[in-house]
Amino acid sequence: MTPNTARIEVLVRELLLELGEDPEREGLLKTPHRVARALSFLTHGARMDLDEVINNALFTQTTSSMVIVKDIELYSLCEHHMLPFFGRCHIGYIPEGRVFGVSKLARLVDMFARRLQLQERLTEQISQVVMDSIGARGVGVMIEARHLCMMMRGVEKQNSTMVTSSVLGVVRDSVATREEFLSLVCRRGP
């Protein structure tokens, strides 16, 4: 389903009026059009097909050591306020015969981030999909993000970062593997 942008434009114009704005003033004339396009883009992950996103992204490889992809940029919208949260996602997994193409992991993050979302759910969805799609032995996902709904609304938490993590399989069950994931993810460096 593709959103009806003409309908969204009408609603945004109504919203501007209700906020005491004049939708006819020069700066706002095209705003409903821009907002409709922006919202449509920022939520299009919810309308994507998972199989298409990971199609051809899996490679056979016999390695069984942990693969870490760090600092994947992440932009999402909190579903409580429809305001952005943004930060970085770190993914680690232990393959069982198949690995991900690196750019596809980033696309996977985008797919789940570009929708109305909660950081906790986003973290879990990414780990579960990585686990299921390559049959990994274990997966760890950590997201560090800042939420504009907290930063902009005067809650005086302007500098706080929310950290969530989700671990599955051997990364959850083995203390040593979990610690390996955490130390690799937390290590700052090139």
Catalytic residues: 78-81, 119, 147, 149
Site string for Zn ion, 22-41 (x = CB under 5 A): --------------------
Label residues 63-94 b or e (16+ Cβ within 10 Å = b).
Answer: eeebbebbebebebbbeeeeebbebbbbbbbb
In the complex, the smallest distance separating the C-beta of residue 78 from Zn ion, rounded to whole angstroms, is 3
**Residue 17 is inside which H or E element, if any?**
helix 5-18
Tell me which stretch binds Zn ion (CB under 5 A): 3-11, 118-126, 144-152, 174-182: 144-152
Residue 59 bridge partners (DSSP): 99
173: DSSP letter: H
146 binds Zn ion (CB under 5 A): no
Site of tokens 């396009």: 37
Q: Which of 28, 106, 149, 162 binds Zn ion (CB under 5 A)?
A: 149
Residue nearer to Zn ion on the CB measure, 117 or 133: 117
Taking the complex as a whole, how short is the minimal distance between the CB of residue 86 and Zn ion, in angstroms?
A: 12
Site for Zn ion in 69-108 (CB under 5 A): 78, 80-81
**Nearest distance from C-beta of residue 176 to Zn ion, angstroms:** 36
Cα–Cα dist 40/15, whole Å: 17
User: How many of the chain's residues bind Zn ion (CB under 5 A)?
Assistant: 4
Nearest to 86, CA basis, from 184, 162, 181: 162
Nearer residue to Zn ion within complex by CB, 73 or 79: 79
Q: Which residues bind Zn ion (CB under 5 A)?
A: 78, 80-81, 149
